[in-house]
């Protein structure tokens, strides 16, 4: 049947071929049209899947706590908007040879730590709740904005968790048992997005990436929310940590130190979680051990001469 179909297609192409164009050229032209149509359908499917996930996120939040609204000046969307409106000067990053990062305030470890504590402070001080959850943005115009949906959703969960602990509102987290897929899918989407960014970082490196890692760490550290994530996303989290380590080890470009410092800060933020710390240290020590073995082998080869 396949051979007959191919033969019929070949005859159809030959008979419909316009004058002045060879069969090969016409076939390549038709193949290009079909591939463009496939790409268009793929984009539509991805957009619809994203919209379905957004609706599931809103539905789950409303089931957990119908009367909740996030009021957080440092939310993912606000932070990203502020950086777009008032971008900081990173001329030294763009021109740096990679040999000096002493003046790089954007990647200062104390700054990253303060970002983490500021995020926790914002969660603690947010105390207003209204009729509905604000819509989560998926109309993205940049790669960074594509991460705002999962980050905002996870921020909402953490916010509800904090407010319910303080007795400010009532929340039913048993709904997570019925729809853990939405949480896990959001975490998976966030990890994929962060991996893409850290693989090919662009200057200026946005503070939004640190914010996203802080949200991820807070989610995993939370004793009520982490179980739903770790059940299905633990392997993906391990792969994410391995990828970050490999990014540091593989990058051999001259101007690599600024980007690698951002990646290492992400590892530091992940290490704040007691759940992730031990496995992260094991991965790092494993790389050190392998490097030591390679050095020993090289020494043995040289000693033979």
Residue 132 resides in a domain: no
Q: Which residues contact 147 (CB under 8 A, 6 or more apart)?
A: 76, 189, 190, 193, 194, 197, 208, 212
Residue 188 resides in a domain: yes
CA–chain centroid gap for 37, Å, is 28
Q: Which residues contact 95 (CB under 8 A, 6 or more apart)?
A: none
Confidence band (pLDDT; 50, 70, 90) for 76? Answer: very low
Residue 108 resides in a domain: no
Residues 58 and 150 in one domain: no
Choose one of 10, 43, 62: the last residue of a domain. 62
CA–CA separation, 60 vs 233, rounded Å?
19
Residues 179 and 283 in one domain: yes
Residue 227 resides in a domain: yes
pLDDT digits (tens, 9 = 90+) for 179-225: 888 989 999 999 998 998 888 777 677 788 888 999 999 998 888 78
CA–CA separation, 302 vs 161, rounded Å?
60
pTM: 0.64
CA–CA separation, 45 vs 39, rounded Å?
10
Q: Which residues contact 305 (CB under 8 A, 6 or more apart)?
A: none
For residues 150 and 190, the answer to whether their CB atoms sit within 8 Å is: yes
pLDDT, mean of residues 78-98 = 48
Residues 51 and 156 in one domain: no
Confidence band (pLDDT; 50, 70, 90) for 293? Answer: very high
pLDDT digits (tens, 9 = 90+) for 216-263: 999 988 887 887 788 788 889 999 999 999 988 888 777 778 788 888
What's the pLDDT at 37? 77
For residues 257 and 267, the answer to whether their CB atoms sit within 8 Å is: no
| 202-203-207-210 Cα dihedral, nearest 10 degrees | 50
What's the pLDDT at 122? 47
What's the pLDDT at 88? 45
Residues 54 and 162 in one domain: no
pLDDT digits (tens, 9 = 90+) for 116-133: 455 445 444 444 433 333
The pair of structure tokens assigned to 274 is 């007691």
Give Cα separations from 206 to 89, 188, 234, 276 (angstroms).
Answer: 12, 20, 26, 24
Q: Is the preceding peptide bond at 89 cis, omega within 30 degrees of 0?
A: no
Looking at the structure of the chain, the number of domains it has is 2
Residues 150 and 275 in one domain: yes
Residue 53 resides in a domain: yes
Q: Among 54-68, 100-114, 124-138, 289-303, which is the least confidently predicted range?
A: 124-138
Residue 43 resides in a domain: yes
What's the pLDDT at 290? 93
Residue 78 resides in a domain: no
Residues 284 and 159 in one domain: yes
Choose one of 62, 89, 109: the last residue of a domain. 62
Residues 168 and 44 in one domain: no
What's the pLDDT at 81? 53
Residues 287 and 153 in one domain: yes
What's the pLDDT at 226? 83
Q: Among 61-70, 91-100, 135-144, 287-296, which is the least confidently predicted range?
A: 135-144
Listed residue (216, 203, 222) closest to 244, CA to CA: 216
For 179, the 3-state DSSP assignment is coil
CA–CA separation, 34 vs 53, rounded Å?
29
Where in the sequence is the domain holding 55, given as residue range(s)? 26-62
Sign of CA dihedral 84, 90, 96, 101: negative
What's the whole-number average pLDDT of the chain?
A: 76
For residues 26 and 17, the answer to whether their CB atoms sit within 8 Å is: yes
Greater confidence, 156 or 180? 156
DSSP assignment string, 103-145: T-GGG-HHHHHHHHHHHHHHHHH-----SSPPPPP---SSTGG
Residues 158 and 293 in one domain: yes
Residues 151 and 298 in one domain: yes
Confidence band (pLDDT; 50, 70, 90) for 153? Answer: very high
pLDDT, mean of residues 59-86 = 60
What's the pLDDT at 123? 43
Q: Which residues contact 151 (CB under 8 A, 6 or more apart)?
A: 76, 190, 208, 211, 212, 215
């Amino acid at each position: 049947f396949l051979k007959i179909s191919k033969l019929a297609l070949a005859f159809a192409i030959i008979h419909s071929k316009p004058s002045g164009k060879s069969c090969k050229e016409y076939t390549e032209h038709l193949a290009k049209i079909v591939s463009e149509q496939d790409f268009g359908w793929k984009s539509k499917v991805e957009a619809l899947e994203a919209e379905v996930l957004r609706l599931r996120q809103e539905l789950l939040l409303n089931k957990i706590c119908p009367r909740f609204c996030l009021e957080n000046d440092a939310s993912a969307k606000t932070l990203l908007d502020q950086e777009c409106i008032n971008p900081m000067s990173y001329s030294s990053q763009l021109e740096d040879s990679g040999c000096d990062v002493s003046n790089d305030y954007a990647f200062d470890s104390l700054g990253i730590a303060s970002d983490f504590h500021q995020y926790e402070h914002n969660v603690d001080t947010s105390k207003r709740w209204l009729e509905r959850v604000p819509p989560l943005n998926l109309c993205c115009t940049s790669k960074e904005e594509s991460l705002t949906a999962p980050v905002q959703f996870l921020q909402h969960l953490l916010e509800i968790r904090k407010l319910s602990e303080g007795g400010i509102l009532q929340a039913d987290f048993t709904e997570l048992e019925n729809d853990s897929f939405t949480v896990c899918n959001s975490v998976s989407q966030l990890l994929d997005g962060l991996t893409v960014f850290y693989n090919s970082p662009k200057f200026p490196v946005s503070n939004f990436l640190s914010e996203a890692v802080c949200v991820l760490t807070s989610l995993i550290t939370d004793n009520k929310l982490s179980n739903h994530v770790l059940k299905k996303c633990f392997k993906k989290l391990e792969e994410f940590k391995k990828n970050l380590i490999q990014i540091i080890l593989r990058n051999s470009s001259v101007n690599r130190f600024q980007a690698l410092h951002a990646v290492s800060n992400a590892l530091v933020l992940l290490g704040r979680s007691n759940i992730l710390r031990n496995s992260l240290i094991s991965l790092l020590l494993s790389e050190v051990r392998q490097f030591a073995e390679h050095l020993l082998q090289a020494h043995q080869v040289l000693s033979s001469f």
